[in-house]
Structure 1
Amino acid sequence: MTIRVHLVDDHAAVRQAMAHLIGGEEGFEVVGQSGSLAQARADLAGSAADVLVIDVNLPDGSGLDLVEECRTRSESLGLVVLTMLDDDATLLRALDAGASALVLKTAPAEQVFGAIVHAHRSPSAFSAEGLSAALRRRRDAPPELLTPREREVVAALLAGYSVDQVATRLYMSRSTVKTHVGKVYDKLGVHNRAGLAVAAVKHGIAPRE
């Protein structure tokens, strides 16, 4: 079986090198390349890819938003985050977004291929070096009521933006914004924006005026 791979990275040289590396290995085929979130969203509409390999830092937003959007639409799509960012925040956000694996750009080629194969076979089972330690550090850290992304959504909503406007400003799909809003409402125990405004002040999420 051939694993069909789509690459998302804003550096053409990196994409070409990855395409040469992956396409030259038996059992793998690069079926598409995108250089931005907008291009990836357009390209993936008709893509036959089994696995996406996605960079985090893209010119029009975070590749992790694309991971979240793709996972919302499909449980069977393999999603590999390929990044230079070696930190807990990136790893844990990739996990929370629904990625299949995270691998560093500095990792040996064998790890990249291993991540792609894992993503194809077990798309919903996250794999990354250092995952256990990162989870332990998150467990031992003081709890945060909302994630950083949820706080961004709250700030935009409290500024008066509509769901569609929040999606545009934060480079997310409308469905992803609505998912974040639902989670925020559940966590804060509110049902509308008026309740959100009160709860945001109470929990120190928004400054008092």
Structure 2
Amino acid sequence: MIRLLLTDDHPVVRDGLRGAFTGEADIEVVGEAANGAEALAFVAKHHPDVVLMDLRMPVLDGVGAIRRLTAEFPAVRVLVLTTFDSEADVLPAIEAGATGYLLKDAPVGELLRAVRAAARGESVLAPSVAVRLMGRVREPARGTLTRRELEVLRLVAGGATNRVAASRLFVSEASVKTHLLHVYAKLGVNDRAAAVGEAYRRGLLQPDDGPD
């Protein structure tokens, strides 16, 4: 069961989100918070698996809360859900440690998939967010993956989670997540499955790079 905390300063939004998860056998909304400070207090006491986080809130904003959650509760995954997709919003949230970044106009099915992916330690990005990140990494080598990015992608193709990939490569989970975000941007995709598929299509991965 994925234990989910909803964090948004608008009660109507929280009510709508709670309704979106009603009836999902594997997701339970265990609490709500109206700002980042409330989210931190709830996580410290109840330790949910995933925090769905708005960015612009009073008292403590989303980026500040993500930064503290990442430092103090590294096992908790934070999925941003906001109306803002400007570079000034996206990059600080990702750099602070957000596992994924969705926009509030996302279909319910995409939101459910993203929460499940976040609980597994996987990154999911809204298409417009992937485009923003693509613009940041394209200039020096458009579409060219580094050796480390390819190593991470091969492990992902073999079914490795971020945690397993980090262990295999002797790096942190945050490093694996950053490499994956770069891969998504360079390949023009927004999730792991699409990255693997696109890498095979381009010949960056070969059939023997899949599961052992």
Structure 1 residue 128 displacement after superposition: 3.8
1:45 and 2:44 matched: yes
Q: Give SS of 1:57's match.
A: coil
Measured against aligned partners, the alpha-carbon deviations of 1:109-167 in whole angstroms (never above 9, x if no partner) come to 111111111110015x46442444322322468xxxxxxxxxxxxxxxxxxxxxxxxxx
For residues 26-45 of structure 1, what are the structure 2 equivalents within 5 Å?
Answer: 26-45=25-44
Tell me if structure 2 keeps the 8 A contact 1:71–1:97: yes
Aligned counterparts of 1:90 and 1:82: Cα–Cα separation in 2: 11
Tell me if structure 1 keeps the 8 A contact 2:82–2:104: yes
Tell me if structure 1 keeps the 8 A contact 2:36–2:65: yes
Aligned counterparts of 2:130 and 2:19: Cα–Cα separation in 1: 32
1:62 and 2:61 matched: yes
Aligned counterparts of 2:115 and 2:17: Cα–Cα separation in 1: 12
Q: Give SS of 1:45's match.
A: helix
1:95 and 2:94 matched: yes
For residues 156-167 of structure 1, what are the structure 2 equivalents within 5 Å?
Answer: none
Kindly report structure 1 stretches of 4+ aligned residues shifted beyond 3 Å: 125-128
2:83 is matched with 84
2:134 is matched with 136
Tell me if structure 1 keeps the 8 A contact 2:85–2:128: no
Percent pairwise identity: 31
Tell me if structure 2 keeps the 8 A contact 1:53–1:80: yes
Q: Give SS of 1:103's match.
A: strand
Aligned counterparts of 1:110 and 1:79: Cα–Cα separation in 2: 18
Aligned counterparts of 1:30 and 1:119: Cα–Cα separation in 2: 15
Q: Give SS of 1:5's match.
A: strand
* Residue type at the aligned position of 2:53: I
Q: Give SS of 2:46's match.
A: coil
Q: Give SS of 2:18's match.
A: helix
2:2 is matched with 3
Structure 1 residue 87 displacement after superposition: 1.6
138 and 14 in structure 1: CA distance in 2 versus 1, 3 angstrom threshold: same
Aligned counterparts of 1:75 and 1:127: Cα–Cα separation in 2: 20
Measured against aligned partners, the alpha-carbon deviations of 1:35-72 in whole angstroms (never above 9, x if no partner) come to 12222222222113100001011122321111111111
1:25 and 2:24 matched: yes
* RMSD over aligned Cα atoms: 2.1
1:115 is matched with 114
Tell me if structure 2 keeps the 8 A contact 1:99–1:126: no
* Residue type at the aligned position of 1:91: V
**Structure 1 length as normaliser, TM-score?**
0.61
Q: Which has the larger radius of gyration?
A: 1
Aligned counterparts of 2:35 and 2:85: Cα–Cα separation in 1: 21
Aligned counterparts of 2:119 and 2:24: Cα–Cα separation in 1: 16
43 and 132 in structure 1: CA distance in 2 versus 1, 3 angstrom threshold: closer
